[in-house]
Amino acid sequence: MFGYVTINKPEMKVKDFERYRMYYCGLCQSLRKRYGMTGQISLTYDSTFAAVLLTALYEPDTSDCVCRCMVHPMSRKNYLRNSAIDYMADMNILLSYYKCLDDWEDDRNLVKLSYSGVIRNKVKKTAKTYRHKAVVIRKKIRELSSYEKVRNTNIDVLAGCFGDIMREIFAVSPNELKGKSEADSNIYKEDWSEKLGEFGFYLGKFIYILDAYDDIKEDVTKDKFNPFTDKYKSMQIEQFKGYVRQLLMLVAADMAKAYEKLPIVEEVSILRNVIYSGIWTRFFDDSKAVGKEQTV
Amino acid sequence: MRDPYEVLGLKHGATEEEVKKAYRTLSRKYHPDANINNPDKDKALEKFKEVQAAYKSIMDGNTGGSANSYGDFGGFGGFGASAEAWRRARNEGGGTSREESRLAAAQNFIMNGMFAEALRTLNDIDDRNGRWYYLSAVANMGSGNQATAMEHIDRAIAMEPDNYEYKQMKSKLQGGSDWYVSRGTGYGMPDMNSGDMCMNTCCNMLLCSAISPCC
């Protein structure tokens, strides 16, 4: 994933931030335990958010743990452990593994290939556990890059393809989580996978569009494919930004609607901070603004 | 159906958080898995379904319908009125062409929330007039194709600039994001502080001063 799904830290309460960090560290620990240090480096904010969402919805049994971590060896850190976090660690790995394979097939990037080689055996096991999800993710990644290769500029098709990947990752039932840990006796039993999937689809679309917007200047300079190239070249910069903003707004609104239908009562202030604010951080980050150079 | 708030044991005007909390408690209690050994499990299942329906109806109301409810124009009633006008036009006009009846079929699909079928029907039509682009915008929005929807409603308006219905659809599309923006203010959505951005988008908007809370 791309790391666009972040919190808006200045707007967040200190205790919420601490809680969010505990999820982040929890995910990092889970990746390390299950996939080693090579797994750990694939950690993104996007999957941290997903772990918070799934935990808040299904309320799996969660324990507080303490660790020392590599990044901060001198201090002890609290982190969370539960089946939702482990699930997201698995999904995080599946996605980055298949993405690496695809990049290798595309541009023979050796670093990517060696990375995917290192975790290959462990991924195989995970792909077996979630056979259907693994097949869909792989298929959709291939489909997406084939669209990009023929320079399909239909943003709904491209972003929808990535949306389908995220739909598959988010659409998880309580039973799928429960299978991962015996202890989850109190897990919320109602299956919300369909609504979760819908949410994931719009989040995926949002991420893809934002990523394309974020890369547009570089892609145009290097003559790399970007679905927004024609619009970027034919519009004034402010008009272009307005267009993307409006598109993102529509997608985000559909995403927020799907979220608000979920009966979530825990971690609400963290989740809404991301959904209504954090996901816009990159778009409104002036230092990285798309039109920066042209307007100076 | 009983009053949904009553089903959840709440008063009217209960907050969204209260609704979610009540729903969670009750759906846990009546979930079939929690009532396997309950002699009254059929009753529990019935209750479970009732609680689910109540929750759904309240939540659909709060969010202005589900993301794929563009067919019924949640609350606007605009589409209903136009459907009638359309029917009238057909009756008065007598014999309808093949294309027209296809457009009518697409519109019917939209009104029934069958957006994929509507899109398929529309794709079979070669003569793409303003109405075609309008219906395509609605069907695409319902299918989660926001970019195509934006493009097609603009094209419909460009082809028939005086058509009030098309403009209403455009502001309806934007209205969906107004809901989102107004909720976002409480969470410090960065856009709120950015006046110039707002001005710029507003220039592209029709009816913008009337509907946009930020201008």
Residue with more model confidence, A2 or A121: A121
Is-contact B212 B178, C-beta < 8 A? yes
Out of B55, B176, B203, name the one closest to residue A250 (CB). Answer: B176
Residue among A123, A130, A141 nearest A172 (CA): A130
Query: What's the CA gap between B176 and A93, in Å, rounded?
Result: 35
Q: Answer whether B67 touches A (CB < 8 Å).
A: yes
| pLDDT mean across residues, chain A | 88
Quick one: average pLDDT of B155-169? 94
**Is the CB of A254 less than 8 angstroms away from the CB of B149?**
no
Average pLDDT over residues B2-25: 91
Answer left, alpha or beta for residue A152, where phi above 0 means left and psi between -120 and 50 means alpha. beta
Residue with tokens 């150079």: A293
Between chains, do B17 and A190 touch, taking CB under 8 Å as contact? no
- The DSSP H or E segment spanning B89 is helix B78-93
Q: How far apart are alpha carbons B70 and B79 in whole angstroms?
A: 9
Specify the 3-state DSSP secondary structure of A64.
strand
Query: Which residues of chain A have a CB within 8 Å of the CB of B149?
Result: 250
Residues of A in contact with B137 (CB under 8 A): none
Bigger pLDDT: B1 vs B167: B167
pLDDT at B185: 82
* Cβ neighbours of residue A84 closer than 8 Å, sequence gap 6 or more: A51, A54, A55, A58, A60, A177
Which chain B residue lies closest to A161 (C-alpha atoms)?
B145
Question: Residue A182: which pLDDT band, with cuts at 50, 70 and 90?
Answer: low
CB contact under 8 A, A276 and B186: yes
pLDDT band at A286 (very low <50, low <70, confident <90, very high): low
Instruction: Provide mean pLDDT across the span A127-146.
Output: 94
Q: What is the pTM of this model?
A: 0.86
Give the one of A159, A250, A276 whose C-beta lies nearest to B183's C-beta: A276
Comparing CB atoms, the residue among A10, A245, A265 nearest residue B24 is A265
Q: Do A155 and B147 lie within an 8 Å CB cutoff?
A: yes
Query: Which chain A residues touch B201 with a CB distance below 8 Å?
Result: 242, 245-246
Q: Give the model confidence (pLDDT) of B60-90 as tens digits.
A: 877 655 444 444 433 333 344 455 555 555 5
Chain B neighbors of A272, CB-CB under 8 A: 186-187
Provide the H-helix boundaries in chain A: 14-40, 45-58, 83-107, 110-118, 120-129, 131-149, 155-170, 174-178, 193-221, 229-234, 237-261, 268-276, 292-295
Q: Which of A240, A265, A271 to substitute to test the interface with B, most B CBs within 10 Å?
A: A265
Q: Is residue A289 very low, low, confident or very high in pLDDT (cuts 50, 70, 90)?
A: low
Q: What percent of chain A has pLDDT over 70?
A: 89
pLDDT tens-digit readout, A82-121 = 999 999 999 999 998 888 887 777 676 666 666 667 778 8
Asked whether residue A10 carries a pLDDT value surpassing 90, the answer given is no
A7 Cβ contact list (under 8 Å, min separation 6) = A17, A20, A45, A270, A273, A274, A278
Radius of gyration of chain B (CA): 22
Residues linked to residue A63 through DSSP beta bridges, in sequence order: A81
Q: Which of residues 1-30 of B touch A (CB under 8 A)?
A: 16-17, 20-21, 23-24, 27-28
At B34, phi and psi to the nearest 5?
-90, -5
CB-based contacts of A11, cutoff 8 Å, min separation 6: A273, A277, B187, B188
Cα distances from A132 to residues A135, A138, A194, A296, in angstroms, run: 5, 10, 15, 50
Distance from the Cα of B92 to chain A's closest Cα (Å) equals 38
Q: In the prediction, which pLDDT does B195 show?
A: 39
ipTM of the complex: 0.84
Residues of A in contact with B176 (CB under 8 A): 250, 253-254
Cβ <8 Å between A251 and B21: no
| Token pair for B177 | 């994001």
Average pLDDT over every residue of A248-260: 94
How much is the pLDDT for A187?
Answer: 82
- pLDDT of res. B87: 55
Q: For residue A226, with 0-12 CB atoms within 10 Å meaning exposed, 13-18 middle and 19 or more buried, which class applies?
A: buried
Q: Do B150 and A250 count as a contact with CB atoms less than 8 A apart? A: yes
The CATH homologous superfamily for domain A9-290 is Farnesyl Diphosphate Synthase (1.10.600.10)
Q: Say which amino acid occupies B81.
A: A
Q: What is the pLDDT of residues B165-205, one digit of tens each?
A: 999 999 888 777 888 988 888 887 776 444 334 433 433 33
